[in-house]
Amino acid sequence: MQFSTKKTDVLSQKTGCAVVFAFANTLLPSAKILDEQHGGALSALIDQKDLKLSAGHKRWITLPLGNTPYQRVMLVQLGKPVSNKQHAIKSDNLINAFTSLATGLKQSPVKDATVYIDDIFTQNIDINHADECVDTSWVTEQLAIALEKSFYTYSQTKSKPAPKPALTKIVYASIDSARTKSAKTALARGAALGAGINLARELGNLPPNICTPTYLANLAKTLASNSNKKLTARDLNQKQMEKLGMGAFLSVAKGSSEEGRMIIMEYKGTSAANSKPHVLVGKGVTFDTGGISLKPGSGMDEMKFDMCGAASVFGSIKALVDMKAKVHVVAIVAAAENMPAGNASKPGDVVTSMSGQTIEILNTDAEGRLVLCDALTYAERFKPKSVVDIATLTGACVVALGNHASALYTNHQPLAEKLLSAGIAANDKAWQMPLWDEYQKQLDSNFADMANIGGMPGGSITAACFLSRYAKKYHWAHLDIAGTAWHSGARKGATGRPVALLVNYLLNT
């Protein structure tokens, strides 16, 4: 998708389609101008209630030739005002509107479109009193993200891929030259972030016979080769991990014919000498059968999504590379398959992690924490500013928070505040959960330093407690994305979350 900005008005720009907006029962300025030029064609939609008040509802209008340099117009509803604030657009409604217009353009025959964003910042809308703080850059970035995301379609393993959309160019139009100038950076950032989200979605959606630990290791090297030397990539094989004492990771990987890999990527977008990096750690279980503690067959196909934490790390790195972000980030991906086999780990086995702590494996389906704990210990060597691990870790998290928010745990409250704020700004929300000492005793074992499960109560919390024992030497946070990483049912597919949260965090620390 090609994004550009231009100082122009709704009557001057030649385009395949003009996108204008309504707010509740009011046409915004660009739409009003068109309405006056064409005998009330747009206001009639409101008067006759053909344009509903729900954010994102839209109507196509074909104008007669003559008064404007285009015929197609899309009128998009921004929704009702925020409660008790007559002139405030809710930021969630803006996202819905952008998603809807992006989908409409994707399905249309137009090759280019112009979006008149000035309307959102007119005096008729007090954007500063919306539920979340949004500005011109945020609006522009979210528009680009919505467009990039809408144009993603999975096709790699289909015999007849869906035809590509006709649309190739979007113009961000404003009569304010300062706004168009500032929008260029935001559009580029949004396009890069959208591409990163789509990469995470693609990796999650790929079948597990393609997206293996080796596939991910090769992808890391491909990203590095295309990074203008800003990104380096390497990986550790199982023999190297044995030498490092990664017994927890290897206890998961050893039951598969696919060799496990610990993938390390380092992005240096800053010239600061000896800068300490932020570290992202992704759970990359490319397929999870549960091992000897075998999962039920129903829905097991969705366990290809158990590497979505790793996918979000790859997506974040791609976004940072594409936007040439001035940050220093190390990404560690713990990639393995969890399979039942004659040599697979058994309930009751005791293994020794890289940290030297021993673990009694009571359930081989609690494997994510086993691959992550060794990755968290490995992260110590980078002397990080912060470490954030991302994992589809527990079904208990889905019970607690559903599919709307990722669960956040941390040993450092300022880090929690930054991540929570980043999630709100990125429309990729998290919710902080307790990490209290009272929960730690559920991991007690008679035969090792700890067990790998803590029983039914508070399953997401005790999983985080387990990881916290390997993250005592730095500021650490854990994101359990089991409820947010993918959709089931008719919408089955990876979401790309929490790439937006992670990138927003990294850009603002």
Q: What whole-number distance in Å separates Cα of residue 320 and Cα of residue 140?
A: 18
> What are the two backbone dihedrals, phi and then psi, of residue 203, each rounded to the nearest 5 degrees?
-65, -40
pTM for the predicted model, two decimal places: 0.96
Q: Are strands 406-410 and 17-23 parallel, antiparallel or unpaired?
A: unpaired
Q: What is the largest CA-CA distance in the chain?
A: 84
Average pLDDT for the chain: 94
Strand order in the sheet with 430-432: 231-236, 261-268, 328-338, 278-288, 386-391, 476-480, 406-410, 430-432
pLDDT the model gives residue 121: 81
**Which stretches of the chain drop beneath a pLDDT of 70?**
83-86, 123-134, 273
Domain ranges for the chain: 2-179, 200-507
Q: Which two tokens stand for residue 306?
A: 């158990």
Closest among 15, 57, 56, 51 to 35, alpha carbons compared: 51
200-507 shares the fold of 2-179: no
Q: What is the CATH number of domain 2-179?
A: 3.40.220.10
pLDDT the model gives residue 155: 95
Please give the C-alpha separations between residue 425 and each of 138, 400, 504, in angstroms, as whole numbers.
8, 23, 8
pLDDT the model gives residue 161: 86
Please tell me the total number of residues recorded for the chain in this structure: 509
Q: Which two tokens stand for residue 131?
A: 């539920």
Q: What whole-number distance in Å separates Cα of residue 261 and Cα of residue 378?
A: 13
Contacts of 417 (CB under 8 A, 6+ apart): none
Contacts of 40 (CB under 8 A, 6+ apart): none
Q: What is the CATH number of domain 200-507?
A: 3.40.630.10
pLDDT the model gives residue 271: 79
DSSP string, 441-485: GGG--SSSSEES---STTHHHHHHHHHHTT-TTS-EEEEE-TTTS
Closest among 281, 453, 456, 247 to 355, alpha carbons compared: 247
List the catalytic residues.
295, 369
> What are the two backbone dihedrals, phi and then psi, of residue 334, each rounded to the nearest 5 degrees?
-95, 100
CB atoms under 10 Å from CB of 103, counted, come to 17
